[in-house]
Amino acid sequence: MNTLHIAKKEIVSALRNKSTFLFMLAFPIALMLILGLALSNAFSGSIEIGDIKMAYKIDRASPALTAGWENFVKAAEESGVAVEPLPPGADGKQAVTEAQYAAFADVSDQGIAYYDNSRSTVESNILQGMLTSFADRYNLEAAFASAGASSQAGSGGQAPAQLVKATSLTADSQPNSMDYYAVAMTTMIALYAALNAASLIESERTRHTIVRLSAAPVSKAEIFAGKVLGSTFINAIFIVAVMLISHFAFGANWGDHPAHVLLVLVTEVLMSIGFGLAAGMIFRGKSSHSFLLIFIQIASFVGGAYFPVNDFGGFIGTVSYYSPLRWNNSGVIETVFSGDTAPALWAASYNLAGAVVLLAVCMFLIRRRETI
Amino acid sequence: MNIIEIGGLTKKFGDFAAVDNMSLTLKEGEIFGFLGANGAGKSTTISMIASLLRPTKGEIRFLGKNIAKHAHFAKMNIGIVPQDLAIYEDMTAFENVRFFAGLYGFRGNELKARVEEALSFVGLGDKHKELPKNFSGGMKRRLNIACAIAHRPKLIIMDEPTVGIDPHSRNYILQSVKELNRMGCTILYTSHYMEEVEEICTRIAIVDHGKIIADGTKEQLKAIITDSKEIWIDVKSVEGLNQDRLKDIRGVLSVRIEEQRIKIQSRAEIANLNDIVQQLIRDGMEIRAVEEQAPNLETVFLTLTGRNLRD
């Protein structure tokens, strides 16, 4: 009960703080509007098909599969997609990681193992769609063949070209600038929760109220849990508000799985609060705020808050994978625009793991102190 | 019955002993004055009684129970008025008291009644909807007290509750302390203002270097100082006064200056008033009044610790 009592007080205090509204609501909405309008041309959704390269390896395949695959390769090349056999001795996965190819397909009678590079989301989606269509078509033909029907009917040279057409890659499945910045700004303010969290415990110290809290029959764990709960709740409220405003005012698309999207964002808030609390306890005072501001700005920059970072390679590309914004943006965008909830669940899992570790560190530090 | 029994209490910060093997008892119904200069160990002792710090050694018993083992029981029955204001400026007076009283498990109508009672007691009943940022220093101090008494503790620890406030508010707080005591609360009171301690405390302990160096009623403490007297001499201006020459006069123990008043502590059995007055005249002092004081708490404190309480 004391946890809820403390959480309630945190919520009331946050709602009375005008700067909280300014920072958590006005700031992301304004930035979303400015970036969304200013950079709308960068999100036209078109891509040069000729740029897409996929490597493949085919072995232990039946003659029918080999023939079907060759037809697929030919038709794909006619559409401007280069599908090349993997050079002897090369490692397909490594080649994709190094961005030599957008994807690698390992084809055998057991199926197609497909590896893509998440830095090339659009190219990967196209290739994945083409391969899915190929697999469907090939299975259909095999079924016809086993049923004694003519395997030539409706197939041959025509079919692979239709395969490409069969995959729907409409503009709606890609985020426009407002969609992108709605997600990016929301994940960014979730990260900013760390800034307030840094002073959750330390502010009690500066206001001397820590004396009363510590003298009351309340455990350190209850105080800590109340603070985290209240802060998570209030940040979640602001995030839902930003989502609703971006949707109804700017038409941002939040997809068909809002619960999954919210799960990603709330777990990101929890992780950020853990991070902020830990920073507040380790650095204390204003230096924790400076540290967090620098960290959040760098994480936002390399994590795609101000522009998409999918195409980045090299050092920044590598660093971006360590930004919480990167995996949260990807998790939300892929869930919203592909309809697949797995990326959201992965992102939420990373967040939760981070939150557990960081909150455990905070509890350890608190237990070592005589007063919270 | 003893409400607090402290035995062999020690608190060390590194090699420094802030409290050094202290033993003390507080009886139920007392207003107990805790006197000591800055750094004497008062706040550290208070913090250990309020379970804010863990003793390095020794034991504190509250109503016969070891507070280390019965922390919840002790905390439920102790209220603390910290020296620094410990209130939320963004919450109304009512919300402040309600939040802190709520930590003691009170809810609903009972909580509301206790909050209203505490605010009325400190004279803020009609200000319950106002934010403390609009309060005067004295009102904030009173709110600070209300936050500590809403759960009706048996022992209230007041650490310098009148620092920096106007005489009217100070008087109000001192009357409140007496009233709380009449209602059955035991008070542990620290202050730099000797006259406050003399006015309200029934028993006093003097703390120095982490130890209790004297403990008793005002009369018992004053009786310690039978061999000294204090002479107050009011002058027009202390400019040109040579304190060293005054200290050289036979029997003079110490000399202090407070604005236009020279306070001289001297051995009681030596008649040196003439020598003192002549020395002041030689220094060009224009004497306006001379008064010989019986020993007071300040004299006692100075004699025992060798320093002024406000040092």
A213 contact residues in B (CB cutoff 8 A) = 103
pLDDT of residue A313: 67
Contact check, Cβ <8 Å, B76/A217? yes
For chain A, which residues score pLDDT lower than 50?
Answer: 149-172
Q: Is the pLDDT of residue B301 over 90?
A: no
Region of poorest pLDDT, from A117-126, B124-133, B237-246, B296-305:
A117-126
* 3 state SS of A147: coil
Classify burial at B62, counting beta carbons within 10 Å of its beta carbon; exposed 0-12, middle 13-18, buried 19 or more: buried
Per-residue model confidence (pLDDT) at position A80: 78
DSSP-derived pairing of the beta strands A82-85 and A53-58 = parallel
Query: How far does CA B91 lie from the centroid of its chain?
Result: 29
A-B Cβ pairs (cutoff 8 Å, strict):
73
Measure the CA–CA gap between A156 and A299, rounded to whole angstroms: 51
Q: How far is A117 from chain B (nearest CA, A)?
A: 51
Chain B CB contacts of A209 below 8 Å: 86-88
pLDDT of amino acid A312: 67
What is the pLDDT averaged over residues B119-133? 93
B156-187 tens-digit pLDDT = 999 989 888 888 888 999 999 999 999 999 99
Contact, B253 vs B266, CB < 8 A?
Answer: yes
A328 Cβ neighbours under 8 A, 6+ residues apart: A187, A190, A264, A265, A268, A303, A347, A351
Mean pLDDT of B33-38: 88
Record the tokens describing residue B86, joined without a space: 């410990």
> Can you tell me whether residue A253 is helix, strand or coil?
coil
- Dist CA B51 CA B160 (whole Å): 19
Q: Which residue of A has its CA nearest to B78?
A: A215
pLDDT per position as a tens digit, A206-247: 999 999 999 999 999 999 999 999 999 999 999 999 999 999
* Chain A positions in Cβ-Cβ contact with residue B97 (cut-off 8 Å): none
Nearest to A207 among B52, B88, B99 (CB): B88
- Left if phi > 0, otherwise alpha if psi is -120 to 50, otherwise beta: which for B234? beta
pTM value is 0.73
Tell if the CB–CB gap between A208 and B84 is shorter than 8 Å. yes
Helical residues (DSSP H) of chain A, grouped into ranges: 2-16, 18-21, 27-38, 63-78, 92-97, 121-146, 158-166, 177-206, 209-215, 220-250, 258-283, 286-303, 314-320, 324-338, 342-368
Q: For a pLDDT cut of 90, what percent of chain B falls above it?
A: 71
Q: Do the Cβ atoms of B85 and A215 come within 8 Å?
A: no
Contact assessment for residue B4 and residue B61, using Cβ atoms and an 8 Å cutoff: yes
Q: Residue B100 is nearest to which of A208, A212, A371, comparing CB atoms?
A: A212
Contact between chains at A215 and B71 (C-beta distance less than 8 A): no
- Contact (CB<8Å) B85/A12: no
DSSP state of A9: H
What is the average pLDDT across B239-249?
92
A147 vs B122, which has greater pLDDT?
A: B122
Which residues in B lie closer than 8 A to residue A204 (C-beta atoms)? none
Is B64 a residue whose pLDDT tops 70? yes
Interface touch A2/B103, C-beta < 8 Å:
yes
pLDDT of residue A52: 82
CA angle A138, A142, A144 (to 5 degrees): 115
Helices (H) and strands (E) in chain B, counts: 11, 14
Q: And the tokens for B136?
A: 């005067």
Q: In what order do the strands lie in the sheet with B57-62?
A: B16-27, B2-13, B57-62, B65-66
B116 or A307, higher pLDDT: B116
Q: Which residue, A282, A258, A241, A244, is CA-closest to A332?
A: A258
Residue A226 CB contacts under 8 Å (≥ 6 apart), including other chains: A2, A3, A4, A5, A6, A7, A9, A10
Residue of A5, A15, A211 best to disrupt the B interface, most CBs of B under 10 A = A211
Q: Given this model, what pLDDT does residue A217 score?
A: 95
Q: Is the pLDDT of residue B43 over 80?
A: yes
What does the pLDDT look like over A122-142, one tens digit per residue? 677 778 888 887 877 777 677
